[in-house]
A = this chain, B = another copy of it.
Amino acid sequence: MQLKNKKWTLDEFMAVRKEVLKSWPTGNDPLLDLDESVERLRKLPAHKNFALKLIEAKLQNRTMLQPRAGVALVPDHIDLLQHLEAAGADFLPSTVDSYTRQNRYQEAEEGIRVSEMQGRSLLNGFPVVNHGVKNCMKVLDNVNVPLQARHGTPDGRLLAEIIHAAGWTSNEGGGISYNIPYAKSISLADSIYYWQYCDRLVGYYEDHGISINREPFGPLTGTIVPPSIAIAVGIIEALLAAEQGVKNITVGYGQCGNIVQDVASIHMLEELTNEYLTKKGYKDMFITTVFHQWMGGFPKDEAKASGLIAMASTVAQLAGATKMITKTPYESIGVPTKEINQIGIKNSKMVVSLLKDQRFPDSDKLHEEEEQIRKEVHCLLDKIYEVGNGDLAIGTVKAFELGIIDVPFAPSKQTMNLILPARDNEGCVRILDFGNLGFTEEIKAFHRKKLEERAKAEGRDITFQMTVDDIYAVSNGELIGRPKGFKTYENN
């Protein structure tokens, strides 16, 4: 295989498909006949189609809600999802367990067995592949809103086949966003290739008149990721997906914490994704945005976690995000019970419905932050196309190799892991160490200036300790990790 950003021919796709379906016994299901699946999905009512419901959603003013949720066994999983629907979830997930994510189906099987034996879920998600198409259909039959698989699987090809055949009309992920934060040693060329397959599968459905949504995973490592890096990755994955025939894409972003920066990011995420898709000639695209409530370490106290959840909801709604992924008061502790998951939804729902007729007003401050992000994203994408000689897939692989694009705190060896972020004195995420990041000197100077403001206010140097303090800060109830004894007003 020679990776390039080019729509796979049907033959190429079908040849690989044969191998994919052999990778685990559930791939051998007659329900995986593509043409039959197309016909089955054609009969799916519109309110269960993720893509169609998103089109409807965008016309409304309110941000739609989707929780994360998944347990080992089918009946429990259905019960869980029904609880979340009852609490007001507009879209439902099936969060997939970590063994499946690493294609370790044998261990997932063991997890199912022990869970059945002990009567409690020992897996941290729903093992989609092991359960197979029929069980996934059963899950969809028992809910009244669209279903999406949320996972973190570098090679999620069989998973994609199974969920779409079962009528789940959205798949989260992408060749970058489901590799860099979720794997250690899988090459980026491989994961991009795997995700071309997943996108091509969706393209097949689209070619046959079935709308299916795709959602790049915006937050990446969830840990003070600078907005322009997250947005650039989202745009790349949107472009790669569009090439394979995907039409309905939701680009994502994880809350950073400074409200102006967060609103600017959601605006730029949408604007720039559309800009690049248009510029590269993709037509009839339908782009929506998803805002992830704070993806880093949560405070332990449940009331504090609730405060953070509602604050995030305020920002998502004011920014005009189409969808929001909700967290729960148990976030820092462990996978939530269905009741606790409901709390996160209701808490969020209250806020977005209260504020549905309101938007964050235009202001100079907002425009400045937007312009900064615009400049940075353009800069990164220009460099990526450049090193790829115009091919985005090749450019992405090279850019990661060279550190031109780099993701902080990633487990993966496919990213240089040189850049270090830290917050400025108003809590905006900036970059402290650029590594080889493909930024101009002008952009770098801006980041340095912003961090120097903070360093001065705190009376200390700009070091990794700032980053460490910022990583802990939110779980300690602060946004900026100030040094001990710091008093704001001494600097006013």
Contact = CB atoms under 8 A, between A and B. Distances in A.
A361 B365 contact: yes
A289 interface: no
A102 interface: no
Given A363-B361, A364-B361, A307 B480 contact: no
Nearest to A366: B361
A311 interface: yes
Contacts of A349: 304, 307, 477
Interface string A339-361: 00011111111110111111001
Interface residues of A, number: 56
Nearest to A492: B59
A351 B312 CA distance: 10
B474 A346 contact: no
A65 to B, nearest CB: 11
Protomer copies: 2
A364 B362 CA distance: 8
B303 A307 contact: no
B307 A350 contact: yes
Nearest to A345: B303
A307 B310 contact: yes
A358 B427 contact: yes
Contacts of A258: 358
A479 interface: yes
A357 B426 contact: yes
Q: Is the interface of A mostly helix, strand, loop or mixed?
A: helix
B348 A307 contact: yes
B303 A306 contact: yes
Given A366-B361, A489-B61, A354 B310 contact: no
Contact of A479 (B259, B357, B365, B487): B357
Contacts of A358: 258-260, 426-427
A342 B311 contact: no
A331 B230 CA distance: 40
A322 to B, nearest CB: 13
Interface string A242-274: 000000000000000111100000000000000
Given A343-B303, A350-B304, A488 B310 contact: no
Nearest to A343: B303
A60 interface: yes
Interface string A306-338: 111111011000100000000000000000000
Given A301-B346, A361-B364, A351 B60 contact: no
Contacts of A346: 301, 303-304, 307
Given A356-B488, A365-B361, A477-B353, A347 B259 contact: no
A79 B31 CA distance: 64
A80 B426 CA distance: 36
Interface in A147-190: none
A425 interface: yes
The 6 lowest CB-CB distance pairs between A and B, nearest first, are A310-B310, A307-B350, A363-B363, A303-B346, A361-B365, A304-B350
29 contacts: A60-B487, A257-B354, A259-B355, A259-B358, A301-B350, A303-B345, A303-B346, A303-B347, A303-B350, A304-B347, A304-B350, A306-B306, A307-B309, A307-B313, A307-B346, A307-B350, A308-B351, A310-B311, A311-B311, A311-B350, A311-B351, A355-B479, A356-B479, A357-B426, A357-B427, A357-B479, A361-B363, A361-B364, A363-B366
